[in-house]
Amino acid sequence: MLQPESIVSRLVSIRDSGDIDKSRHEASVLLEDLAMHPDDRINSYLRVDLEKIINSYSQERASHYASRAIKSIIEVKTGRINDIDMNRWREYDDIITDSLWIIGKRDRSGAHNADYWGNFIPQIPSQMIRRFTRKNEWVLDTFMGSGTTLIECRRNGRNGIGIELSQKVLDLAMNNVNSEGNPDGVVTEGIRGDSTQIGYDGIMNQFGIKKFQLALIHPPYWDIIRFSEDKEDLSNSRSLDEFLMKMKSVGQKTFDVLEDGRMAILVIGDKYENGELIPLGFMTMSRMLECGFRLKSIIVKNYDVTRGKTAMENLWRYRALLGNFYVFKHEYIFVLEKRGRRSYKKAGKE
């Protein structure tokens, strides 16, 4: 394995060289040496800069790429709300930055399972936790379900609090969460409560939380799936207006406990009823904006393919042809930012 100090020394020689041919040769030799250590992490992000040096037409450009490569080794440049080292950004090719997510299969590794109806795929909280939080920060999941978010908190070294209405579901979720390893010793706790009415002060005082740095909001898609007989369950809302009113309450409570400049992630789909498309996703998102959030991104994600959905595929295709509609194959991930005081003042002036 090549030592970083040795690589930096050779890059400095390229950077300070006054001879482009010499720089190209030294870069070629270093690239060959790196090829002998394919598992070395340094290899992944140096290769591009070395190839650019080899193809440079001037020493000035070669020195530029050498300086950039040196920075990627000796400096750490993380973002304000994540641990992504922007000097080594090429390493993070598994972090999605596009707004269309086509994810083939849900992650079923470790404690993850698909036994609970309506739980979202682990890739969603995994992506959002890594993109919008730093190690040991706090994540809030307002609809805990089977514990997917808290499992990802353990995997990524983040503290997490999940809110779940049903004690039975909460017990099952905590069994899932506790079966996942916790190498960083983070807090992952489920709390029984109604996220439309809950008061967070006691919970935050108990765990010493000043503010949450990320919130995941994945509610029932109104009454598409009835999760319980509890009248407080959002899936038992008697009307669309009641559902949206309760979701605004969830949004406001989440907004109040979220740190300024941080993100809330709303995951929701639409509904088709009585021959009419109900744009539940955008309606719910608009209630979040009324709480003070601003919309940063809209991600369209394909639905997870399950045995049940596959078995019903022909039936839905028949119904679509008969009823002149299109079968849902997507849901939305709305990335919402809590605006700080400056943003409020600016918005007020405008």
Region 197-222: mean pLDDT is 95
Dist. CA 122–CA 127, nearest whole Å: 9
Residue 47 and residue 85 in contact, taking contact as beta carbons nearer than 8 Å: no
Confidence of residue 256 (pLDDT cuts 50, 70, 90): very high
Strands annotated E in 137-222:
138-141, 159-164, 188-192, 212-217
Is the pLDDT confidence value at 348 over 60?
no
Reply yes or no on whether the pLDDT at 323 is more than 90.
Answer: no
Beta bridge partners of 78: 85
Mean pLDDT along residues 304-325: 76
pLDDT confidence band for 243 (50 / 70 / 90): very high
CA atoms of 196 and 213, how far apart (whole Å): 20
- Answer with the residue of higher pLDDT: 226 or 171: 171
Better pLDDT: 231 or 125: 125
The answer on pLDDT for 340 being more than 70 is no
Q: What is the pLDDT of residue 89?
A: 86
Q: What pLDDT band is residue 39 in, cutting at 50, 70 and 90?
A: low
pLDDT score of 297 = 97
Tokens of 154: 């353990």
- SS3 sequence of 76-130: CCECCCCCCEHHHHHHHCCCCCCCEECCCCCCCCCCCCCCCCCCCCCHHHHHHHH
Average pLDDT over residues 197-208: 96
Least-confidence region, from 72-76, 112-116, 293-297, 342-346 = 342-346
The β-bridge partners of 294 are: 337
Which region among 38-52, 109-123, 214-228, 249-263 has the lowest average model confidence (pLDDT)?
A: 109-123
Percentage of the chain modeled with pLDDT above 70: 89
Q: Is the pLDDT assigned to residue 33 strictly greater than 50?
A: yes
Cα gap 56→68, rounded to integer Å: 14
pLDDT, position 79:
84
Considering 86-95, 152-161, 222-231, 321-330, the range whose residues carry the highest mean pLDDT is 152-161
For residues 255 and 123, what is the distance between their CA atoms, to the nearest angstrom? 24
CA dihedral over 253, 258, 260, 266, signed as positive or negative: negative
189, β-bridge pairs = 161
- In this prediction, residues 252-269 reach a mean pLDDT of 97
Task: Report, as an integer, the average pLDDT of 164-177.
Answer: 94
308 confidence band (pLDDT: 50, 70, 90): low
Q: What is the pTM of this model?
A: 0.84
Confidence of residue 345 (pLDDT cuts 50, 70, 90): very low
- Gap between the Cα atoms of 243 and 236, Å rounded: 9
Q: What is the pLDDT of residue 343?
A: 46
pLDDT digits (tens, 9 = 90+) for 94-123: 999 999 999 877 666 766 776 655 567 899
Band the pLDDT of 125: cuts 50, 70, 90: very high
Rounded to the nearest integer, the mean pLDDT of the chain is 88
Do 53 and 66 touch, CB atoms closer than 8 A? yes
**pLDDT score of 41:** 62
pLDDT in tens, 69-96: 998 888 888 888 999 998 888 888 899 9
pLDDT for the residue 347: 43
Q: What is the pLDDT of residue 350?
A: 41
pLDDT at 261 over 90: yes
pLDDT reading at 128 higher than 90: yes
Question: What structural domains and CATH numbers belong to the chain?
Answer: 4-75 (no CATH), 100-349 (3.40.50.150)
